[in-house]
Amino acid sequence: MQSDNNVLEKLSAVSKLAAFNQWLGLEVVSAEPGAVELHLPWRSDFGQYSGFLHAGIIGALIDTACGFAAGTQTERLLASQYAVRCLRPAVAETFVVRGWVVKPGRQQIFAAAEIYALGDEQRKLFAVGDAILVPVAA
Amino acid sequence: MQSDNNVLEKLSAVSKLAAFNQWLGLEVVSAEPGAVELHLPWRSDFGQYSGFLHAGIIGALIDTACGFAAGTQTERLLASQYAVRCLRPAVAETFVVRGWVVKPGRQQIFAAAEIYALGDEQRKLFAVGDAILVPVAA
Amino acid sequence: MQSDNNVLEKLSAVSKLAAFNQWLGLEVVSAEPGAVELHLPWRSDFGQYSGFLHAGIIGALIDTACGFAAGTQTERLLASQYAVRCLRPAVAETFVVRGWVVKPGRQQIFAAAEIYALGDEQRKLFAVGDAILVPVAA
Amino acid sequence: MQSDNNVLEKLSAVSKLAAFNQWLGLEVVSAEPGAVELHLPWRSDFGQYSGFLHAGIIGALIDTACGFAAGTQTERLLASQYAVRCLRPAVAETFVVRGWVVKPGRQQIFAAAEIYALGDEQRKLFAVGDAILVPVAA
């Protein structure tokens, strides 16, 4: 994915406004119109009861990657629904989260996202998901 | 909801094992077979870019309430999928998250959850969602 | 559910415009602002490979009940997404499908639906689901 | 997609057992382990109130393509949940429905599907969706 520096800077700035994204330590590593890639280095804070990545964090990553992918093309958005499919227990030093717009729109933007481990050439998926984002007036 | 002290203590103990639940400060306030009520006091850490409760946290609450509702009846579980519908921007001093089992099962447990503000007698819903939990061997 | 005759007649007329609803033989038995009840008498056409109600028909019922519930309050709508949870194999002489609006809105209407057997006082649910409907210009 | 004749024949035979699939006139045109392609020629029976493909049929196609993709690898299955995202009104002479397994499993199989018009080289998607299938004992 070839990254667009203007889009990347804009998203990184938006991410800094979101307190929860800051706590996560989520890094926007590349962005182009309609697609983003985020990295999340593991911290023990993120665990569920047996130490895997908490499904709540998985959902937060899916939601954020979908929202950021839509955010490359639309200024202000709210997530109206999202769904998360946890394919296998997730453990990695750094998680890669890819989000992309499936269908842009004036009323609704459909996006999807997937999560795998950084450095895994086969991209074995831990989780996939999708979201509907709704543009809101400024 | 009349609470069952044994179930409540068990869930509170499980919640203490989950690092992310501890960070959230999620409190299990009542539990009975097949249903739980959780409280989450607001912290500014939980905000998205315009200060509402981050959809990622909303999902974490839905996922956790569904998992805990199922956890009142089944020992070890993993979330296999969940979905979140963000009905309106969520702002409250304390969020109430109710989770309940819709259909128990040996292979899959279907659960649902809803979020509203503590003290709101009308229970105006901020978000609703559902999850499928899968029992895992110990 | 107390039915509103004007709403009921309007929905029955809309249902007659939908060729697939006519094939299903779906009957709108009651309607009030924000809620509907539909009945579907079993036909062997509706079976999946082992003779239960086909999950595709289950989805069509969930989608239609959600759309009709929203249609009691909003003139023209399209389904933008729906989800179906098949709780147990569905067999009945007549299926009851209840749909209701969870949250009305100008941009999106959130609705939910459930299916059980006519005459089952316990309302043992075969399936539940939800939909997002989007108002469209006439 | 290179088709496997044994898998294709098996699925076509299963489809003939499902009365609703027969009514739809759904044709299994190719199949390989983990993936299928189905064709559905348009009939006016399939319309919603303004003449587009009924969202209920869209769901039935998503559900069936996911189930058949899983059915290339697993003998007996039930759909436990599925979700449908209707990206744009669907009109075509013949619909192509592609289904594939995202993650096989002993307890659950995750699958996804998409729908576009036959002959559309750009594969402009009308709808996408996903399903969880559960193996059942014979």
pLDDT at C122 over 70: yes
Q: What is the pLDDT of residues D52-87, one digit of tens each?
A: 899 999 999 999 999 999 999 998 899 999 999 999
Give the pLDDT confidence of C37-96 residue by residue, as tens digits.
999 999 999 988 788 899 999 999 999 999 999 999 998 899 999 999 999 999 999 999
Please give the model's pTM, rounded to 2 decimal places.
0.95
Find out whether C36 and C69 touch, Cβ atoms under 8 Å.
yes
- Cβ contacts (< 8 Å) between A87 and chain D: which residues? 102-103, 110
The token pair that represents B136 in the structure block: 């895992």
Segments in chain A below pLDDT 70: 1-2, 138
Q: Using alpha carbons only, what angle is made at residue C85 by residues C82 and C88, rounded to the nearest 5 degrees?
A: 150
Chains touching A by CB (3 or more pairs below 8 Å):
B, C, D
Q: Chains with ≥3 Cβ pairs under 8 A against D?
A: A, B, C
CATH superfamily entry for domain C5-135: Hotdog Thioesterase (3.10.129.10)
| Cα separation, C19 vs A136, whole angstroms | 36
Q: How confident is the model at residue B2 (pLDDT cuts 50, 70, 90)?
A: low
Question: What number is the ipTM of this complex?
Answer: 0.92
Nearest residue of C to residue D17, measured between CA atoms:
C49
How far, in Å, CA of C93 to CA of C118, rounded? 8
Check B83 against D83: CB less than 8 A apart.
Answer: yes
User: Closest partner residue to C86 among D20, D47, D81, by Cβ?
Assistant: D81
> Is residue C1 pLDDT above 60, yes or no?
no
Express each pLDDT in B32-71 by its tens digit: 999 999 999 999 999 887 888 999 999 999 999 999 999 9
- Pick among D78, D84, D106, D107 to test the B interface (most B CBs inside 10 A): D107
Q: Mean pLDDT over all residues of chain B?
A: 93
Cβ separation A132–C132 shorter than 8 A: yes
Q: How far is CA C59 from CA B95, C62, C85, in A?
A: 32, 5, 9
For residue B40, the cross-strand partners are B95
Q: Which residues of D113-135 are buried (b: 16+ CB within 10 A; e: fewer)?
A: bbbbbeeeeeeebbbbbbbbbbb
Rounded Cα–Cα distance for residues C84 and C91 (Å): 17
- Strand order of the sheet with strand B77-86? A27-32, A35-41, A94-103, A109-117, A127-135, A77-86, B77-86, B127-135, B109-117, B94-103, B35-41, B27-32
- Residue C88: list chain B partners with CB under 8 A: 103
C-beta of residue B61 within 8 angstroms of C-beta of residue B97: yes
CB spacing of D102 vs A130 below 8 angstroms: no
Residues from D in contact with A at Cβ < 8 Å: 83, 85, 87-88, 102-103, 110, 112, 125, 128, 130, 132
Average pLDDT value for residue range C117-133: 97
pLDDT score for D2: 63
Cα separation of A77 and A14, whole Å? 12
Give residue D138's pLDDT.
Answer: 66
- Which chain A residues contact residue B57 at CB under 8 A? 20, 56, 60
Which of C85, A22, C40 is CA-nearest to residue B47? A22
pLDDT in tens, D1-44: 567 888 889 888 888 888 898 999 999 999 999 999 999 999 99
Residue B110 confidence (pLDDT) above 80: yes
Among B50, B67, B86, select the one facing A79 at the smallest CB separation.
Answer: B86
Task: Please judge whether B56 and A20 are an interchain contact, meaning their C-beta atoms are less than 8 angstroms apart.
Answer: yes
- Quick one: what percent of chain B has pLDDT higher than 90? 77
Residue where the block lists tokens 């348009």 = D42
b/e C51-67 (16+ beta carbons within 10 angstroms → b): ebbbbbbbbbbbbbbbb
Size of interface C-D (CB pairs under 8 A): 109
Is D84 in Cβ contact with C82 (below 8 Å)?
yes
